[in-house]
Amino acid sequence: MKYPWKTDRRFNSYTAFIQEKFGTRVQKLSLNAGFTCPNRDGTVGVGGCIFCNNDAFSPSYVGGNKAISRQIIEGIEFHAKRYKTDKFFAHFQTYSNTYAPIEKLKAAYEEALSFDNVLGLVISTRPDCVDDEKLDYLVELAKKHYIMIEYGVESCFDKTLKIINRGHNFESAKRAIEITHEKGIPVGVHIIFGLPGETYEDMYNMVDILNKLPIDNIKFHQLQIVKETKLELLFQIYPKQLAAFPTYDSYVSFLILALEHLNPNIKIQRVAGEVRANTIVYPHWGNLRYDQMLNILEKEMARRDTWQGKLYHDS
Ligand code: SF4
């Protein structure tokens, strides 16, 4: 067999891994626990990352300052209509979900875990918003539940992190990934391809940097220019410089190169981002749904007879 993973997918699918681990599909329920972000409240910055508009990807059921339980009940109803599953992960997604006093975090996480069909937590946060106390608490939770932390890394280059007003450097991300892994918590990372100032070579080189980190799974996103962000204003001035992937085909060509060099042990959670159609400024890619994007990618990988890690060398 060509692939070190158990499916015949062309990449190491996180979805397939979870399905095998739990014996069923487990759907993520996006939640907004009302946390904020140190890059918005002035602690490390104001105004946030230049691409950030959390409203663009939040599903309708998380709006309106609803209690966690209410969001979970409505989320289960929402997903039950679309997917055949009654098992869920509570995904603390909006803003920075470890950025609060520990007692507040405990209350939010434990409210979500009080639902029998919530099997675990996926916690999205910034690398500079974790510490030993929070991670050790998560280690305790992980004795009974699936717990995964997703860090917004976005880029491995400090020059880019500065341009996007990220408010932390790559060393901070590297440290958080390593500490979290050492404590036994699986680490997901979020990477954006096409950020301002990055060449294709830079993006490609990021794969080598990521390969050296103890990452469990990864989400790759294309840069999406969303309404009501600073990036939208920049795009009006520098449209060509911010148009790394004008078509989905151009993105797929790059993504396949990246996947071929990626460590095959790193699971793939996502290969592209999706925001609500009425919020996107650029690129449009013909309003492809995510399942269509995946289908096109895997067909092209099959046509090229290639797969994740085909050109990976452990060095
Ligand atoms: S992308 Fe994340 S870290 Fe950046 S401003 Fe938005 S919530 Fe904060």
Report pLDDT digits (tens) over 164-190: 999 999 999 999 999 999 999 999 999
**What average pLDDT does the segment 231-256 reach?**
96
Give the model confidence (pLDDT) of 94-113 as tens digits. 999 999 999 999 999 999 99
User: Which residue among 53, 95, 125 is best mutated to probe the pocket of ligand 1, counting the most ligand atoms within 8 A of its Cβ?
Assistant: 95
Taking 70 as the threshold, does the pLDDT of residue 50 lie above it? yes
Phi and psi for 241 in degrees, rounded to 5? Answer: -70, -20
Atom of ligand 1 nearest to the CA of 45: 5
Taking 80 as the threshold, does the pLDDT of residue 63 lie above it? no
- Residue 239's pLDDT is 95
Give the model confidence (pLDDT) of 255-265 as tens digits. 999 999 999 99
**What average pLDDT does the segment 139-146 reach?**
98
**Residue 169 contacts by C-beta under 8 Å, 6 or more apart in sequence?**
158, 161
For the chain, the straight-line distance linking the first and the last C-alpha, in angstroms and rounded, comes to 23
Q: Could you give the percent of the chain with pLDDT greater than 70?
A: 97
Q: Domains in the chain, start-ordered, CATH in brackets?
A: 14-223+259-274 (3.80.30)
Q: Environment class of residue 58 by beta-carbon count within 10 Å: exposed (0-12), middle (13-18) or buried (19+)?
A: middle
Distance CA 242, CA 238 (A): 7
Distance CA 240, CA 288 (A): 22
Taking 70 as the threshold, does the pLDDT of residue 56 lie above it? no
Atom of ligand 1 nearest to the CA of 40: 5
Name the closest-CA residue to atom 7, ligand 1. 95
Mean pLDDT rounded to a whole number for the chain: 94
Outline where DSSP puts E strands in the chain. 27-31, 88-92, 118-125, 146-154, 187-193, 217-222, 225-226, 267-270, 280-282
Q: Environment class of residue 238 by beta-carbon count within 10 Å: exposed (0-12), middle (13-18) or buried (19+)?
A: exposed
- Residue 61's pLDDT is 64
Which position has the higher pLDDT, 270 or 3? 270
Nearest CA among 31, 45, 38, 35 for reference residue 112:
31
> How many CA atoms lie less than 13 Å away from 203 in the CB half-sphere?
24
Confidence band, pLDDT 50/70/90 cuts, at residue 59:
low
- Residue 82's pLDDT is 79
| Beta carbon of 167 within 6 Å of any ligand 1 atom | no
Confidence band, pLDDT 50/70/90 cuts, at residue 32:
very high
Taking 90 as the threshold, does the pLDDT of residue 87 lie above it? yes
**What average pLDDT does the segment 78-91 reach?**
87
Taking 70 as the threshold, does the pLDDT of residue 81 lie above it? yes
Nearest CA among 150, 144, 146, 143 for reference residue 129:
150
Name the closest-CA residue to atom 1, ligand 1. 52
Q: Could you give the percent of the chain with pLDDT greater than 90?
A: 86
Taking 80 as the threshold, does the pLDDT of residue 54 lie above it? no
